[in-house]
Amino acid sequence: MNDLIKNGKLLDYHGYEWRQFELDGREADVIFPKKPDPMKKWIWRAEFLDCGFDTVDVEMLNRGYYLVYYRVSDMYGCPESVELMKKFYDFLREEMGLDRKTILFGFSRGGLYSVNFALRYPALVRALYLDAPVLDIKSWPGGLGTGLGAEREYEEALGWYHLTRSSVLTFRGNPVDRLYELAGLDIPVAVVAGDSDRDVPHMENCDHLLNVYTERGKKLLYILKEGCDHHPHSLEDPTPVCDFLVSC
């Protein structure tokens, strides 16, 4: 194991060894399965590690997958954040020998990071698990549809994408604008969302993915939770999602 990881802060994650360290001035985390998959397969939380709603994460650890995280928070999946993620990916591959392909977990705004990374580096992504995902910054944090929006986050997002409140209206670089491209890459996707989400309405975000993947006959698991708002994320029983991801 790389000394940077080995000498990192030792924490506990549901009984699993968790090493937290700094890489290029940013928090990095590696959580180790007790019986690693022979190929050293791994899942990557794009945002919100250890913030609850992690039944899928824990079950994938149970199944031998490593769990990693790299803090590029408040960058909303912009191109700069994707390149930072790629540097972390290269570090893990070189220093830990993890499998060439990762499974990205995109919770809420983590959907922007996950899909944009997959579009930029499709050969490095085995599958996506998107949970109440943001796929359009006009929907969230913009609040230009039916969602509540978030003013401070919207200003931050516009800045990272070098947009204005006017130019964002014709911006076509959101994940939701590139779903046919994503489908063409044959990356399987699992989606979990609430049908009553007031922050990230499913109609403006993941429903578009459902339509494109269904039309193109691509591998998709889509679970819409009745009466569920943006929280709680995930599923009490993670089996459907985990079985899908392991099959990819």
Q: Cα–Cα distance between 213 and 188 in angstroms, integer?
A: 9
Write down the pLDDT at residue 3: 86
Tokens of 236: 């009490």
Tell me which residue of 97, 91, 90 sits closest to 124, measured CA to CA: 90
Q: Cα–Cα distance between 183 and 40 in angstroms, integer?
A: 26
Write down the pLDDT at residue 2: 83
Q: Check if the beta carbon of residue 111 is closer than 8 Å to that of residue 134.
A: yes
Q: What Å distances lie between residue 224 and 17, 49, 116, 131, 239, CA to CA?
A: 33, 23, 23, 10, 15
Q: Check if the beta carbon of residue 213 is closer than 8 Å to that of residue 191.
A: no
pTM given for the model: 0.97
Give pLDDT tens digits along the chain (248 positions): 788 898 899 999 999 999 999 999 999 999 999 999 999 999 999 999 988 899 999 999 999 999 999 999 999 999 999 999 999 999 999 999 999 999 999 999 999 999 999 999 999 999 999 999 999 999 999 999 999 999 999 999 999 999 999 999 999 999 999 999 999 999 999 999 999 999 999 999 999 999 999 999 999 999 999 999 999 999 999 999 999 999 99
Q: How many other CB atoms are there within 10 angstroms of residue 48's CB atom?
A: 19
Helices 110-120 and 79-96 cross at an angle (nearest 10°) of: 70
In the chain, what are the domain boundaries? 3-246
> What is the CATH class of 3-246?
alpha beta
Tokens of 113: 């990071």
Locate tokens 């030792």: which residue? 10
